[in-house]
Structures are given as structure tokens and as C-alpha cells.
Chain A
Amino acid sequence: MTRLRNALVSAIVSAIGALPFAVVVIVAATGQQPAPAPAPAIGPPTAPTAPTTPNAPRGPAPSLARPASPTKASDRAGFLQRWLILEPLKVPGQLTEGAVQALVKKEHVPESLTAVPKDGEVVHAGDETLTWRAVDTTAYNVNLFHFAYALNKPTSNVLFWAVTVVDAPREMPGVRLAIGSNAASVWWLNGQEVIGLYNDRQAVIDDGVSPRLTLKKGPNVIRAAIVNAGGATDFCARFLDGNDAPIIGLVVRLDAAAGATPRP
């Protein structure tokens, strides 16, 4: 039984802690992309500040910023820098293959593997209410510790869901998704599981690499589950071509899949 319930049926106001770092996101039932919200709990790279109120956001998150444009091309090394991240879900933090596979199967509905949530979309997981947040990273990686810490969310014994959409200009056969993650992670491309990394580990560029795949023309949905037991947590992802060279300039368009993929 899944613990996550989609909350698209109603507009939801997600007020995260105290101003000025509160994020107020209104998600329409139509799935329309919300207008950029002011002052998110993520922002330009600066050092996190200590919280002044329990459970209040600590932001802004170093290395993360709120998207300010409809699309974002990969960086010069091909890394995808725009993602939707779900606030961390508390989990046991077991990192073996068996434990992680059991966890990700428990924590999602299969149909959702190709779904693209909306920035600000709220889901309920047991007694937790979690929000999807769109972020741009200024680095090659997405620092999930920054993400969660800025929101005053747990960083240990957690599961992060991450989604992005690559808008391929043409069909691209023979490519590989290449990722690194701290710690264990499982990755899907257009609903197909393509990478699994397990056990305690650091995020290493091109650590887990998928078999040769085909990016279809148009939107391609990448979904990842990153499980962290403790300490730093982050991930990075890019595509490699047939010669294992990074594919530069792929464009992320988080709304590219709207209307193309049935929502569960």
C-alpha cells in the first residue's frame, strides 16, 4: 500500500514555516504550473543560517535556487540542473539492495513513475505532508542536504524523490543515463528502471550508468529515489553518448510532459 497520496484534487496552500522564507504554493486542479512564488526556502548560494524557530525554514539553501525561466539547458559538462524534489520522507535508512528496492516499491504507485508533479504540489505520506519543490542547482550536483536543511527537514534516514523532464530535440538511441548519488538510489527513465546503486556511498560522477537507451523525441521523464542514512546527501545526473562522452545542451522543461503523459 502506498503511503503517498496525490493531492491534486484541491488547491493547497503550503505554508512552510515563518516568513520571510515561507513558500506559498497554490496548485490548481487543472495542473497548471503555479506562478513563481516569492521568497522560497531555497535561494542563492549562501551559508545556511541557524534556525530561530523550531521547524522554521533555515534557508536560503546554498547552491539551490528557484527556477526563473521556462527551460534550463544542461551545464557545460552535461549535468541536468533543474529538478523537482519532494521534501524528505522519513524512512528506516537501510541501504542494502533488498531494503532500498522494498522501500521504493512501497513508497510509490507504479503509475506515478512517469508522472511529473507540479512545483508546490502537496502529497501526504502517512501523517506527513510533503511538498514538491522545483530547484535549479548552481553546481553539477543537487545538494539534498542543503535542500532539506534549508527547509528544516530531516537529512538522515530519509528518502528523496526527484523528477525532471528532458525535452529531447530528436530520437537519440544508444545513450546512457549516468548518475552519482549519496547514498543509495534507484532511477527510472520513462517508467523503466535503469539504474540501482546501493549501500552507503558518496556521489561520484558517472557512478551508476544505465544500459544503452533511447531518448524519445520530446519529453522524457527521469525519476529517482535517493535514500540517505546520515550525513551529506546529494546526486548528479547527465546523459552520455555512444562514446561515453557527456551530451551537452539537453534542455530540461519541467512542463514538457504535460498532456503527453496521463497522470495517475
Chain B
Amino acid sequence: MTWHPRLAAAALLLLVAPLSALDGEPGMHDPSTVIQADGRFYVYATGNGLPAFVSDDGWTWRRAGAVMQAVPGGRPGPDVLARGGNNTWAPDIMRVGDRYYLYYSAPGPQPKSAIGLLIGKTLDPASPDYKWEDAGPVVWSDGVEDSNAIDPGVFRDPGNGSLWLTYGSYFGYIRLVELDPKTGKRLHPERAPINVSINSEASIMIFRDGWYYLLVTHGSCCQGGNSSYNIRMGRSRKVTGPFLDNMDVDMLQGGGKLFAGSSGRHIGPGHFGLLALGEGVQKFSLHYESDLDRGGISVLDIRPLLWRDGWPVAGDNLTAGTYEIESARTGTALEMAVQGAPVGGARRGPGGPPPGQGPPSGAPPGTPPAPRPPIPAQEADQVSANWPGGAAGVRLAPYMLQAQQKWAITPVAGAGGYPGSPYFKITVAGTDRALAATAEAELTVLPAFTGGPEQLWRVDQLTDGTYRLMPKGVPGSKDAMALSAVGSSTPTLAAFRPAGDRERWLIKTP
């Protein structure tokens, strides 16, 4: 496996900002972990001077200059240049104490390369405190050894607070070293790095329930739609490995359970980064080598992180469609509170021909009756004549495929969003009747969608695959509230409680 001309590719990516997936300017390559600071989201990527990107909501992104603009000399420090080269690729970032450690790749003629450290107090370029200090190289590869010291991934062990760095790219091993949280540099530079994986790059670790997970990217990068990039993983009970995949194959021997491959309109996912949003909500950042909806450029994306059977699972952001919204607590479905009509009309027999509808006249004995015709799906315009013209209540009921139980969930352009998704409107399918929050923190269906924050919904998929639905705003309240099943027939709005099912919902295709 060889390395690729990332810099040239990344330079092209930054010029384009079409629509879809994340909004604004998500064109980038090798993104760092997305980090939250002072109410904003930041991410850094491969490119001249390490391009910086910022978002106020995690949905709409914009360029925010380059990191090296705030570094004395405007480029890697002399020791970094000596160990590696004057390139700035594939950074990663973490807040440690009151400082930010930004690790970046500074390759020379690969596999001669170095990983440098920059230290800053703030991520806000407008702050008077905004500057990055060169802290020199952290690890490096000499061009001969079995290592290519690029693609840093920094990890804080939640068990003991220890700090670790994984790095490497195809040539040789993915390596692990322990860092000193006080300096961001190696804690034991005299010790040999620990090899943890091969055949991969873009490594990073996460931890959950006693397991350390090593996520890496396999395949080829930087070839647009011809990139075979895919994210794979193994796990270990120890931070130092061995990291085994789902078939117990050691990642040092090429193992790796697939976490995310190409799908939909996106080719070549790579460079996993955990984005923990609190209250048990986890997402992950990555880039695609080719976003077909943006002419094939590489873009950042943020997606839900799910967990199943002890392994992380790559979730997908909700897309526009018509859905049943079912309470994970009660198993009953959200509906506009109107008298439902059975699908297909009045009661029909359990089987066999209805009265007077036997075999065709004159048919020989034993001729089976004609099969009953299919019953079409119930649409709103078939049953809405008796629905109230004004606002209606909202309740939960057994799902019976009825029109008042089917909801169109539709992204709203220009209304902002949250990490990974835009706000949605939720309307009774086939109508403009919009689910909305009331000033009493209850629910109503308004006769028409008018775009108010009480009618805009944030839909986050949670780690168990269920969803949390939150209005952008509740009239007269500053509290964040989520759709909640307070009873089997009764929805309301309440603070999200991650420990239970009250605010968890299944979104199903009818």
C-alpha cells in the first residue's frame, strides 16, 4: 500500500460547497475529531496550514482560516520540519485541562514523517487569546522503520485519565504511545511504541463498558469515487491491546470488523471521530472520499453512533419520508387525535368469500372463489372530511395504518440544524397539518406549518437505535424538551431522561 497526494486533493475540496448532507462548507479531507467549545463546533482538516472549520449548530459549516495563521512562523516548528516535512495533514484535537492539544501530521517524503503538537487556549479565532504554540514533534518515523508517523488519533482513558496517541498509515504499523497530560508529549519517550494494527490508517480509540475500541480506516484514499476507504475496528480489554475483531482476528494480522462502508450517495468513509453530545447521545464524524451529490468531492459528515452487542454501529441520519412514530415505552403510535377509520372500511370476514361472492356462476364444483382485491393504503384525503379544520390534539394509539397515524418528516431548508441534520417539520402525511409544541409544554397539530420554532423538530438517533425528538423551541420556555410518552395514550414534552424509554421513539416505515 502506498500513500497518496492528499494535499492536492484537499485543496480542490475546499473550493466547493454544494448542498446536501451537512450544509455550508463541509468540503474537507481527513477531518479531526469534531470538538465543541464555547457553544460552537470546530473541526480541522488536511490542507495548507491546516484548514479550520466552525459551525454554530453542527449542521451549517464555514471556513475559519487555517491553524498555521496563528502559529509563530506560520508553519511547523523547526524540530517538526527536521523530523518530518512541511506538510500539514490529518490533525486531531482534544481539550486537556484548560488547553487544547492539536496534533497534526507533518510528512516529508513518506514514510519519513512526524506528528507535531500545537497548544492553544481557545479555538475562537476572534478571541484575543487565540494563538497556537509549537510544542515540537511528538512521534516520528525515519523513513525506514515499519511506521509512517501521520494520522494522529488522541484518546483519553476515562478510567484513569491517561492520555494516548495512536498513529500510522499503511507502511508498517499503527502504533500506540502514552502521552503526558501535562505536556501533551510522550510520557515515556524511552519506551518503544506499541504496535496495535497493520494495513490501515486514521486510527483512533474510544472506550465503552470496559472495552477499548480501535477504529482504523482500511482501503485506498484520495481517488474520488475509486476510493475503497472503509472504517474497521477491533476491541480489547486493555488499552494496549491486542485488538481483536468479531472473528477474534488480531488487527495486527489484518483483522477488523467493518464499521462503515460506502452507502447511499457516499463513497469511501474514513477518519472516525467520536462526538459525544451528552445525555448518552453519541455521534461520530467522518469524511467521505466522494459525495456524489456534491460532484464527487470529499466532505465531512456527522452521523449517529449506535451500539449493538458490544460493538459500535454506524447509524444514518434520518431522511425525508413518511413514518410511523412509535413510543419505545408504550408501543403505541403518535396520532392526530381524530376518530380513525378502519383501513379498507367496515369489518371483513376472516377468510373465504364474502356472502354472495362464491365461485363464478356456472363454474365447476370446487372452483375457488376469485381472490379479494388488494386494499389500498389509507390516505388522508380519503378520511379527512370529518377532521377538525383548526388545531387538533395529539395522542398515542395502537398503530393501525390509519392516515392520522402516518407522519411526513421533511427537512426544512434555511431553518438551521444540529450535528448531522437539519431541522424537520413533522406533518400528517398528505396534509400540511404540523406537529407543534404548545406554551404548556404539551402537543398540538396546527392546521398548517408556518415555520415557527415550535414546529421545527430535532431528530437524534440514540445509541440503542431509537430516536429523540425535540422541538427547536417551546413557547415561553428556555428549557430543552423532548417528545415524551407520559402514558400509553398520552404524549407530552419533558426533559430528556436517557435512563429510560419515556423519550425514546421508533421511527418506522409504515
Residues of A within 8 A of B (CB): 96-98, 176, 178, 180, 197-198, 204, 206-209, 211-212, 240, 244
Contacts and interface: CB of A to CB of B under 8 A. Distances in A.
B87 to A, nearest CB: 55
A96 B386 CA distance: 14
Contacts of A206: 486-488, 490
A244 B494 contact: yes
Closest 9 interchain pairs by CB? A209-B487, A209-B490, A207-B488, A206-B487, A209-B486, A204-B488, A207-B489, A208-B489, A97-B339
A96 B502 CA distance: 27
Nearest to B497: A243
Contacts of B442: 211-212
B395 to A, nearest CB: 9
Most buried by A among B442, B484, B490, B502: B490
7 contacts: A98-B339, A204-B488, A207-B487, A208-B488, A208-B489, A212-B441, A244-B502
A209 B492 contact: yes
B248 interface: no
Interface string B175-201: 000000000000000000000000000
B440 interface: yes
Interface string B455-497: 0000000000000000000000000000010111110101000
Contacts of A197: 489
Given A96-B339, A97-B339, A98-B339, A208 B490 contact: yes
Most buried by B among A176, A180, A244: A244
Interface residues of B, number: 13
Nearest to B441: A212
A123 B494 CA distance: 43
A234 to B, nearest CB: 15
Nearest to B442: A211
Contacts of B489: 197, 207-209
A244 B503 CA distance: 12
Nearest to A242: B494
Given A178-B486, A212-B440, A212-B442, 6 more contacts: A97-B339, A207-B487, A207-B488, A209-B489, A209-B492, A211-B440
Contacts of A209: 486-487, 489-490, 492
B47 to A, nearest CB: 49
A180 B441 CA distance: 23
Contacts of B339: 96-98, 198
Contacts of B494: 244
A12 to B, nearest CB: 39
A104 B487 CA distance: 23
B375 to A, nearest CB: 21
A240 B490 CA distance: 13
A206 B442 CA distance: 17
B385 to A, nearest CB: 14
B488 A176 contact: no
A246 to B, nearest CB: 12
Nearest to B488: A207
Most buried by B among A98, A178, A180, A206: A206
Contacts of A97: 339
A211 B491 CA distance: 10
A217 B381 CA distance: 48
B227 to A, nearest CB: 49
Nearest to A244: B486
B384 to A, nearest CB: 16
B488 A240 contact: no
Interface in B323-345: 339
A206 B484 CA distance: 13
Contacts of A211: 440, 442, 492
A134 to B, nearest CB: 27
Contacts of B488: 180, 204, 206-208
A212 B442 CA distance: 9
A178 B492 CA distance: 13
Most buried by A among B487, B489, B490, B502: B487
Given A96-B339, A97-B339, A208 B487 contact: yes
A119 B494 CA distance: 40
A163 B442 CA distance: 27
Contacts of B440: 211-212
Interface string B157-168: 000000000000
Contacts of A198: 339
A142 B502 CA distance: 26
B220 to A, nearest CB: 52
Contacts of B484: 244
A137 B490 CA distance: 26
A6 B442 CA distance: 38
A241 to B, nearest CB: 11
A180 B440 CA distance: 23
Contacts of A208: 487-490
Contacts of A96: 339
Contacts of A176: 486
A18 B177 CA distance: 90
Contacts of B441: 212
A211 B442 CA distance: 7
A184 to B, nearest CB: 11
A209 B442 CA distance: 12
A211 to B, nearest CB: 5
B393 to A, nearest CB: 9
Contacts of A212: 440-442
A198 B489 CA distance: 10
A148 to B, nearest CB: 25
Nearest to B340: A199
B345 to A, nearest CB: 15
Contacts of B486: 176, 178, 206, 209, 240, 244
